[in-house]
Amino acid sequence: MSFIQVENLSFRYDQTRTIIEDLSLSLEKGRNLGIVGESGSGKTTLLRLLLGLAQPSAGSISIDGQVLDTKNWQFMRDFRRRVQAVFQDPYSSLDPRQAIFDIVAEPLRALKIDVDVAKAVAEAATAVGLPADAAQRYPHEFSGGQRQRIAIARAIVARPDLVLADEVVSALDLSTRILIVDLLKALSTSVTFVVVSHDIALVALLCPDIAIMEKGRIVESGPTEHVLSNPVHPYTRRLLASTPRLP
Amino acid sequence: MSLTPADTPQPTAISVRRKIPLSLIVGGLIVGLHLLAGILTILWTPYEPTAMVGGRLAEPSIAHWAGTDRLGRDLFTQILIGARIALEVGSGAVLVGAGIGITLGTLAAFATRTLDDVFAAAFDILIAFPTLLVAMLIVTASQTASLFTAVLAIGIAGSAIIARLTRILVKRVLSMDYIVAARVAGSSWPSIVFVHVLPNIWPTLIVNLALQFGLAAMAESSLSYLGLGAPPPNASWGRLLQEAQGTVYTAPFGAIAPGLALVTLVIGMNLLADGLRAFADPTRRRSR
Ligand SMILES: Nc1ncnc2c1ncn2[C@@H]1O[C@H](COP(=O)(O)OP(=O)(O)O)[C@@H](O)[C@H]1O
Ligand SMILES: [Mg+2]
């Protein structure tokens, strides 16, 4: 039994176009999965479904064999504790009127997790490399890269099993990207990531498994090394051709 | 590691010494004076407000700073009481308007597409009617002219503007990723409203509430002028203006003094709103 099992998932906003079509995938704990696809291929939509923020038109998502049921309050509380997310835009994803301490503490307070909040927030902040005086400051005092660290601290503070990361470095400059990728790599020892990106090189750095997504479907998947060295689907080849090779 | 609230460093000197906008200071002073005058009348007035204490239509003098009215009553006393009434009706109306407006605006922002469209259209239609006209209709319909109906009428009449603004502000906040992040963090919708939505719309809202306050004070005077406000012996500025109308050429001060009081209060409120706007800008907010 896989940790996360997605079966024949479909989703549409309206009748005219299917955004996610008959998509299946599975995920093991401890093995990061990269989902790569061009902009508009439905990656963010898939993450919204995985987070229970949108309802699939068909198919199911299960975690440890339990079907994701957004109407089951008790299940969702446990689910939220286990599955967290980091978003693309580090400016829009932090409430400008909240101090960093309150931002990072939000999952602990919302889920009423029985821990020493100050201690847990401090640990998360250390883990992501935030400066010691960050807690009482406000988001506008931080750079994009540091804001993304704050968002990552919020995602890991409740010690989830899985963190869904949606294009988390694409809004950052190159040198900051490298630092954040290093951070995600370091955190991968204690939490599993689903790294969603249009950047195949980034995913290759972080994920032993990869799934290639085109127009709401997974067209190819498997161990990253295998898929990259021996791409079968023409779309994968095209993606690879358009990506600068890593040194 | 010291990421606890207790031992974070104090803000730097630069961030503390923020410039307070001049409009905030001047507006605050003007409104503060009116407030003081209003509060003072609860405890003390220069003369008994309804007592005939001087000659009729006397010029301003040391004994009667704003002169006297047709019945020889001290005008300055009545203007002080007028400040209290203006502030009572202003704050009452803004409370009523904000209560209704913020609630409806927030509900609209959370409603389904169609319901939201209905709300939006309703707000726009209500706003198209002049506030005073709506307030007059409400007072006329209730068939009682009192301080209380004036508060309700002006509050209800002004609530559409607050509702429309709230709806737009809430929708903007709801589109931000930090709302999605809050949901993923497990926050319930009510806690999202109180923790994220209201604090983020509040700065813009408070500025508009200050403006509404000035408008409400003006509407109160207008209603009283038309005889639809607080009945005598409540010395509303509007009623003072109305009473001075007949003698405006022979004794202009009877109209000038309450007019000045009203105009300065409205200007003070507008300055205050303007100052708050500059102050509330989140990027200029000092670090704590
Ligand atoms: N709220 C929405 N309503 C209608 N269509 C949407 C909405 N959000 C996204 N889409 C469409 O769904 C498709 C997939 O979008 P998205 O999941 O954001 O892709 P990606 O993250 O891979 O760029 C796009 O074609 C987009 O236009
Ligand atoms: Mg996306």
Q: What is the pLDDT of residue B254?
A: 86
Q: What are phi and psi of B167, to 5 degrees?
A: -60, -45
Average pLDDT on A94-109 reads 96
In chain A, whose CA is at the least distance from the CA of B1? A132
Q: What is the pLDDT of residue A5?
A: 95
Tokens of B14: 């630069």
H or E element, residue A76: helix A73-82
Say yes or no: CB of residue A177 within 6 Å of ligand 1: no
**Nearest CA, atom 16, ligand 1:** A42
Low-confidence ranges of chain B (pLDDT < 70): 1-18, 281-288
Cβ-defined contact of B287 to A94 (cutoff 8 Å): no
Whether A136 has a pLDDT exceeding 60, the answer reads yes
Contact between A193 and A172 under an 8 Å Cβ cutoff? The reply is: no
Question: What protein residues have CB closer than 5 angstroms to ion ligand 2?
Answer: A 44
Q: What is the pLDDT of residue B147?
A: 86
Q: Which one-letter DSSP state was computed for residue B14? A: H
Give, in words, the CATH class of A4-90+161-241: alpha beta
Cβ-defined contact of B2 to A106 (cutoff 8 Å): no
Whether A144 has a pLDDT exceeding 50, the answer reads yes
Nearest to B3 among A81, A93, A135 (CB): A135
- Contacts B185 to A, Cβ<8 Å: 80, 84, 106-107, 110-111, 154
Tokens of B63: 């004994």
Whether A113 has a pLDDT exceeding 90, the answer reads yes
Closest CA to A48 of A193, A149, A196, A157: A196
What CA–CA distance (Å, rounded) separates A186 from A205? Answer: 12
- Strands A33-37, A192-197: pairing kind: parallel
Ligand nearest to the CA of A168: 2
Give, in words, the CATH class of B22-286: mainly alpha
Say yes or no: CB of residue A44 within 6 Å of ligand 1: yes
Please give the share of chain A, as a percent, with pLDDT higher than 70.
Answer: 98
pLDDT category at A246 given cuts 50, 70, 90 is low
pLDDT category at A245 given cuts 50, 70, 90 is low
AA identity, residue A22: D
Strand, helix or coil at B74?
strand
H or E element, residue B258: helix B253-280
Closest CA to B183 of A40, A70, A167: A70
Model confidence over A26-63: pLDDT tens digits? Answer: 999 999 999 999 999 999 999 999 999 999 999 999 99
Say yes or no: CB of residue A170 within 6 Å of ligand 1: no
Closest CA to B40 of B82, B75, B89, B69: B82
E-state strands within chain B: none
Distance (Å) from CA A9 to ligand 2 centroid = 18
Q: What is the pLDDT of residue B283?
A: 54
Question: Terminal CA-to-CA distance of chain A, rounded, Å?
Answer: 37
Ligand nearest to the CA of A167: 2
Residue corresponding to tokens 């590691």: B1
Cβ-defined contact of B185 to A134 (cutoff 8 Å): no
Q: What is the pLDDT of residue B18?
A: 62
Q: Could you state, in order of their start, the residue ranges of all structural domains in chain A?
A: 4-90+161-241
Ligand nearest to the CA of A166: 2
Strand, helix or coil at B138?
helix
Cβ-defined contact of A133 to B184 (cutoff 8 Å): no
H or E element, residue B11: none
Q: A53-86: buried (b, 16+ CB within 10 Å) or exposed (e) per residue?
A: ebebeebebbbeeeebeeeeeebbeebbbebbbb
